């Protein structure tokens, strides 16, 4: 995906909104039930304000939303680039932007989470295309790239260990729809997992049957070096992967450890 991704491509379209006459007690119930801490306020489809948990906690108590809502708020046009929206949110220190169309009607909401998801999805194709070109040059073959849901039961792992802390992070991402697709190579009828072992194990533990993947199809049935290494290490299923519980990922360091190393 290019850097020209737009707000409308990543915004949440099903928006919970209230109106100025909504009782504040009802807003509190909505917050408890939805897990959101703020809602756009609209009249006749147009955004007229925003009500947040801070409004309810810090402003003098009143009966209705219209008495406590913030009216001077920032909104985003749905045709705005996702990068521009991210800059606005960063500069203003807000975590969500109501999204409007040309008629100034509320059509969605974009949050920090959506911004993160957009950058994840745009970074993945670069990695996929690099690996795709490497395969073509290494084996002198042609490849085809598709994005699809791959049955986890069909995937052949190629990594012998994963880390518990990173597994926890990937589980969090999957539950919130933030996990980037895995990278898979299809050779004959075999699906070889190249990148995304933590994500796939997390999906398996969550009870998922499939996982979103970029699949590189090879025109020739050849045995990849990754497969040969996995054979030697006895890695055939995800149950053969060791989960390291007592060590952090090598790319993560504790500040206390770093200080001790610096003092040596």
Structure letter (DSSP) for residue 219: S
Paired residues of 6 in beta bridges: 81
Q: Is residue 99 part of a domain?
A: yes
Structure letter (DSSP) for residue 81: B
Range(s) of the domain holding residue 161: 141-244
231, 57, 213: which is closest to 146 by C-alpha?
213
Of 79, 114, 149, the residue at which a domain comes to its end is 114
pLDDT digit string, tens, across residues 247-264: 555 555 443 454 455 566
pTM: 0.62
* Domain identity same for 98 and 185: no
Residues 6+ apart with CB under 8 A from 37: 31, 52, 53
Strands 143-151 and 210-218, bridge-based pairing: antiparallel
- Number of domains the chain contains: 2
Q: Enter the tokens of residue 155.
A: 């995937």
CATH value at residue 33:
3.10.580.10
Of 114, 130, 155, the residue at which a domain comes to its end is 114
Q: Per this entry, what is the length of the chain?
A: 264
Least confident of 75-79, 204-208, 229-233, 258-262: 258-262
Cβ atoms within 10 Å, residue 106: 19
Residues 6+ apart with CB under 8 A from 149: 210, 211, 212, 213
pLDDT digit string, tens, across residues 215-246: 999 988 999 888 999 999 999 999 999 998 75
Q: At residue 1, does pLDDT exceed 90? A: no
Separation CA 227–CA 2 (nearest Å): 32
* Domain identity same for 99 and 148: no
């Amino acid at each position: 995906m290019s850097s020209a991704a737009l707000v409308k491509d990543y915004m949440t379209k099903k928006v919970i909104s209230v109106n100025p006459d909504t009782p504040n007690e009802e807003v509190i119930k909505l917050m408890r039930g939805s897990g959101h801490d703020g809602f756009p306020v609209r009249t006749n489809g147009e955004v007229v304000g925003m009500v947040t948990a801070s409004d309810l906690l810090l402003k003098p108590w009143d009966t209705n939303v219209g008495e406590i809502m913030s009216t001077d708020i920032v909104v985003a046009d749905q045709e705005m680039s996702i990068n521009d929206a991210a800059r606005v949110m960063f500069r203003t220190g807000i975590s969500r932007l109501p999204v409007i169309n040309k008629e100034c009607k509320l059509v969605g909401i974009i949050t920090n989470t959506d911004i993160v998801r957009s950058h994840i999805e745009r970074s993945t194709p670069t990695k996929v295309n690099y690996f795709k070109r490497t395969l073509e040059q290494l084996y002198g073959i042609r490849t085809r790239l598709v994005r699809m849901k791959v049955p986890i039961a069909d995937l052949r792992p190629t990594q012998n260990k994963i880390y518990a802390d990173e597994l926890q992070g990937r589980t969090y991402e999957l539950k919130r729809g933030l996990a980037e697709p895995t990278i898979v190579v299809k050779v004959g009828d075999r699906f070889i997992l190249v990148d995304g072992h933590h994500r796939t194990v997390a999906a398996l533990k969550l009870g998922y049957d499939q996982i979103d993947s970029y699949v590189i199809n090879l025109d020739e049935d050849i045995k990849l070096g990754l497969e040969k290494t996995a054979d030697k290490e006895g890695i055939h299923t995800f149950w053969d992967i060791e989960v390291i519980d007592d060590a952090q990922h090598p790319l993560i360091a504790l500040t206390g450890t770093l200080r001790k190393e610096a003092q040596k």
